[in-house]
Amino acid sequence: MSFRYPDSSVFYRRLDRSFPAAESASGIAIFDQTGKRYLDASGGAAVANVGHGVREIADSLAEAAMLGYINGTQFTHRFVEELAAELAGVLPGDLGHGFFLASGSEAVEAAVKLARQFWVESGRPDKWKVISRVPSYHGSTLAALSLSGREHYRSTFGPMLTEFPRIPAPDPYRDPDSAASTGEALEEEILRHDPRTVAAFIAEPIIGASAGAVVPSTDYYARVREICSRHEVLFIADEILCGMGRTGRWIACEHYGVMPEILVLGKGLNGGVVPLSAVVARPSIVEVLAEGSGYFNHAQTYSHAPVICAAGLATLRYMKKERLVERSAAMAEPFFARLEKLREFPVVGDVRGKGLLAGVEFVADRSSKSPKPRGERFTERFTEKAFDNGLIVWPNVGHVDGTHGDLVTLAPPFSVTVEEIDEIVSCFAATLEGLT
pLDDT value, residue 312: 98
How many whole angstroms from its chain centre is CA 353?
Answer: 13
3-state secondary structure at position 158: helix
Mind giving me the DSSP string for 305-320? -HHHHHHHHHHHHHHH
Domains of the chain, CATH where assigned = 22-53+323-433 (3.90.1150.10), 55-321 (3.40.640.10)
pLDDT value, residue 2: 73
What are the mean pLDDT values of the chain's consecutive 10-residue runs (436 residues total)?
90 94 97 97 96 94 92 96 98 97 97 98 98 97 95 92 96 95 97 98 97 97 98 98 98 98 97 95 98 95 96 98 98 98 98 98 97 97 98 97 97 98 98 90
Is the entire prediction scored with pTM above 0.85? yes
- If you ran DSSP here, which 8-state letter would residue 381 be given? H
pLDDT value, residue 1: 65
pLDDT value, residue 434: 87
d(CA 425, CA 421): 6
pLDDT value, residue 152: 87
- If you ran DSSP here, which 8-state letter would residue 157 be given? G
Q: What is the dihedral of CA 110, 112, 118, 120, to 10 degrees?
A: -110
Percentages helix, strand, coil for the chain (3-state, rounded to 5) are 40, 20, 40
pLDDT value, residue 416: 98
- If you ran DSSP here, which 8-state letter would residue 81 be given? H
Q: Give the torsion sign (CA, 104, 105, 106, 108).
A: positive
- CA–CA distance from 291 to each of 276, 286, 394 (Å)? 28, 9, 44
Q: Strand 348-354's sheet: what is its strand order?
A: 348-354, 357-362, 406-410, 394-397
Mind giving me the DSSP string for 215-258? ---HHHHHHHHHHHHHTT-EEEEE-TTTTTTTTSSSSGGGGTT-
